Structure 1
């Protein structure tokens, strides 16, 4: 059993991947509410990570008011098709914020920029000085943030071994799918907590789960971690 002080990591080390657990997606009043979002379980996973020294690497949808995804403006899409979403997760608005209880005591947000210092943030997370790092992004995959690739690679090295990445959040058939596939495709041991996700459509969820499993993602539940 893990000790009561850092490090409490298993072997191989474990990292939680919190995907877009934000008010606009996870609360009924949100602009793009994902029905059935398991917010109580998200809070429990955050508490568990903090208590057991498990680093959290997360993503947050971060938009400006004139984001090309939004139907409310005529900003052209970079590659054609404009999805026409309602305004959501505009940085600084209530809907952009993480769900209450899912932000640990010590955390950093890394902006969606080409270059920024990451060494200190890696060390803080690997040693337990901070609990979480969240990557701002504008599209589905956390790897859309240019800092994510190197950060995860350096974090794995700092943890002293190839970590197991445990994914949860919303939505299963969009950003969760993109995160899990992106991790698996980069050779990370990746697990998805099927009771700690929610999706848009039943067919989309089924297809996403099958695709993730075919890519080598392990499908499991939170009971394997919390009990």
Structure 2
């Protein structure tokens, strides 16, 4: 199958992207996210994505006394992206008409179904639930991406966008590049937490071989 491009939508969810969200990332370009989604649907470009998904008692929330894992520090974030709440939902207009959400579990028969559907054009988007920064913390993501690339005539380029540049976007782009996939970051389709963090992230991504581009390359 011929797939030249794959879009990677990182955490474009209400709690991060709307001003009313509990962890709003200032400057989130929501209209551009909608345009990218519409463009992908119109041209049959597959969308992969991540969605932050927590239970009410997530260890990283400051509202509870659940201890962090041994190798982590509790960040005491406000409650956010609790699965099933309005803040967890994708920003309106950023889901294609047909999509799958894959849970953060070691195995799921639905993953192979979703891959087949994506390759056949029956499903237009597949979103991986996660609890920390990296898309690849979901154990279904790595084999899914690997099998997707293996099924294409030539390796596609992955175009990453979303929030936040210096956290989850960084983790997704580096995760793809470190696995040897051609990766581009759409610099006007991201928003970050701090200018210093964003600058460090861009330097790190360039050093890892990630190509920096703008939405005009895709949308014209």
When normalised by structure 2's length, the TM-score is 0.97
Q: CA RMSD in A?
A: 1.0
Gap regions ≥5 residues in structure 2: none
Deviation for aligned residue 1:80? 3.7
Whether 2:177 is the aligned partner of 1:184: answer: yes
SS of structure 2 residue aligned to 1:45: helix
**Cα deviation per residue 1:138-191 (whole Å; 9 max; x = unaligned)?**
000000000000000111122232110000000000000000000000000000
State the match for 2:211 in structure 1: 218
Do the aligned residues in 2 keep the contact of 1:123 with 1:158 (CA within 8 Å)? no
Which aligned segments of 4 or more residues in structure 1 are displaced greater than 3 angstroms?
none
Q: How many residues align?
A: 218
Q: Take 2:51 and 2:192, find their aligned partners in 1: how far apart are those partners? A: 17
1:19-168 equivalence runs, <5 A: 19-78=10-69, 79-117=71-109, 118-168=111-161
**Cα deviation per residue 1:86-110 (whole Å; 9 max; x = unaligned)?**
0000000000000000011000000
Do the aligned residues in 2 keep the contact of 1:61 with 1:89 (CA within 8 Å)? yes
When normalised by structure 1's length, the TM-score is 0.94
Do the aligned residues in 2 keep the contact of 1:113 with 1:147 (CA within 8 Å)? yes
Q: Take 1:100 and 1:119, find their aligned partners in 2: how far apart are those partners? A: 27
Gap regions ≥5 residues in structure 1: 1-6
- The match for 1:204 among 175, 193, 197 is 197
SS of structure 1 residue aligned to 2:144: helix
Q: Take 2:159 and 2:72, find their aligned partners in 1: how far apart are those partners? A: 33
